Amino acid sequence: MFQTSPSSDAISEVYETAVARNAGEPEFHQAMHEVLESIAPALDEHPEFLEAGILQRIVEPERQVMFRVPWTDDKNRVQVNRGFRVQFNSALGPYKGGLRFHPTVNLSIIKFLGFEQIFKNALTAQGIGGAKGGSDFNPQGKSDAEIMRFCQSFMNELYRHLGEHTDVPAGDIGVGGREIGYLFGQYRKITNRHESGMFTGKGTGWGGAEVRTEATGYGAVFFTEEMLATRGESIEGKTAVVSGSGNVAIYAIEKVQQLGGRAITASDSSGYIVDEAGIDVDLLKQIKEVERLRIAEYAERRTSARFISGGSVWDVPGQIALPCATQNELSLRDAEALIANGVEAVAEGANMPCLPDAVHAFQQAGVLFGPGKAANAGGVATSALEMSQNASRQRWNFSDSEDRLHNIMRGVHAAAFEAADRYGRPGDYVVGANTAAFVKVADAMLAQGVI
């Protein structure tokens, strides 16, 4: 199961114990396996991590909270959802990670996301720990009043576990500026404190940071740009295939086109569009962010576009692929199609969108592959910048904030690239990102004792 090394038996034992302890949580198992199988060289070099039980501690959340969320719909009927917050690791700073509202949310999803967040946050070098939360509530089709009532009920329980020095949530799938406004408002009402720094992704008029909305998508493209630069290439003149049509996808498309590339696809659960003229970003924003319609509407309004309800967006040829929708969306078959069509670089804008055998196929084919914990770290990095601005009561303009994001993503790339080389896997960003982040967190845990 794990590659042979002096530490492989210890890794296997930790993994098997964690799987047994967390039965029925396949996404969490997948995330653990991906990290553990790549950090053996670091453990061989640092036997003190094994002696101190770092592995056993890092796969066990520091705290898991699960709670009932009752609310009333517009017909005055009582509805009940389930809320989650998994505070995974705070060795580097207060817990930091988004809230996801989607019907697929369960404990396994939240734990996989929280586990990934530990290492993603470590790579940003911003002094933040890892957490994730959310609910199986579906905002789709709900009125603003229903969403407000749900958010208020959700925060009635969650508030007691939050604080700017304890746990700082942000948005994720299904949680945008509207939801964050309602959540923060209820926190402020309950606590009688205006702690701007305890929630990120806020409106820019009341404590939010410039570029936070764009950050995850922009950051994924900046990371892609850095990967291509190692081969003397750039995004300019290249075609990009992008999945999703939410926050990450929209701004990844925007940045690709600002850098001279041509993004030609976007998708949602109903299908995908292909626009060979290049996606009209303003039209896409109008349809998805303002009118909240399905992606097919884009093709209705754009003569150069077509909508496909079946098949896979990854059948569309392009030199760059940016999976920005959700976990496990890109299969081995999809990877093989992209490789056959000449893909050169893949960067995960979403969290763990590529299945393990797809990642292996990309690496075997020599395709540059940026894992999510590195490639999509721009969102949480800019959240940390928002926390800094709130703490100091400063405000940076868009240009300054984007420059800071760009520099952080250069640092994330450099950390992953250099660690891959140091541990004998040059060009392997999965190994590089995991080992660089793991060593940083493990050193902090070692220094702070057995807690």
Binding site for substrate, residues? 96, 117, 120, 171, 383
Binding site for NAD(+), residues? 216, 247
Active-site annotation holds for 132: yes
CA distance 323 to 246: 12
Residue 81: burial class (beta carbons within 10 Å; 0-12, 13-18, 19+): buried
Give the 3-state secondary structure of residue 366: coil
Q: Which two tokens stand for residue 130?
A: 């890892």
CA distance 217 to 214: 6
Residue 346, CB half-sphere, CA atoms under 13 Å: how many?
34
Residue spans of the domains in the chain: they are 8-59, 63-194, 215-375
Contacts of 266 (CB under 8 A, 6+ apart): 242, 243, 244, 245, 249, 250, 253, 272, 273, 279, 284, 295, 298
**The domain 215-375 is classified under which CATH number: 3.40.50.720, 3.40.50.80, 3.40.50.150, 3.20.20.70?**
3.40.50.720
- Strands 345-347, 95-101: pairing is unpaired
CA distance 79 to 137: 10
- Strands 305-308, 271-275: pairing is antiparallel
Q: Distance from first CA to last CA of the chain, Å, rounded?
A: 30
Q: Which two tokens stand for residue 9?
A: 């038996």
**The domain 63-194 is classified under which CATH number: 1.20.1630.10, 3.40.50.10860, 3.40.190.10, 3.40.50.1820?**
3.40.50.10860
Binding site, residues? 96, 117, 120, 171, 216, 247, 383
Please state the φ and ψ torsions of residue 82, each to the nearest 5 degrees.
Answer: -115, 135
Side by side, the strands of the sheet bearing 167-170 are 63-72, 78-89, 129-135, 95-101, 167-170
* DSSP characters over 360-421: HHHHHTT-EEE-HHHHTTHHHHHHHHHHHHHHHT----HHHHHHHHHHHHHHHHHHHHHHHH
**Set 132, 202, 238, 255: catalytic member:** 132
Single-letter residue type at 25 = E
Please report, for the chain, how many H helices and E strands are present, in that order: 18, 13
The pLDDT tens digits along the chain (451 residues) read 666 778 889 999 999 999 999 999 999 999 999 999 999 999 999 999 999 999 999 999 999 999 999 999 999 999 999 999 999 999 999 999 999 999 999 999 999 999 999 999 999 999 999 999 999 999 999 999 999 999 999 999 999 999 999 999 999 989 999 999 999 999 999 999 999 999 999 999 999 999 999 999 999 999 999 999 999 999 999 999 999 999 999 999 999 999 999 999 999 999 999 999 999 999 999 999 999 899 999 999 999 999 999 889 999 999 999 999 999 999 999 999 999 999 999 999 999 999 999 999 999 999 999 999 999 999 999 999 999 999 998 889 999 999 999 999 999 999 999 999 999 999 999 999 999 999 999 999 999 999 9
Identical fold between 63-194 and 215-375? yes
| pTM for this prediction | 0.93
Q: Which two tokens stand for residue 13?
A: 């034992």
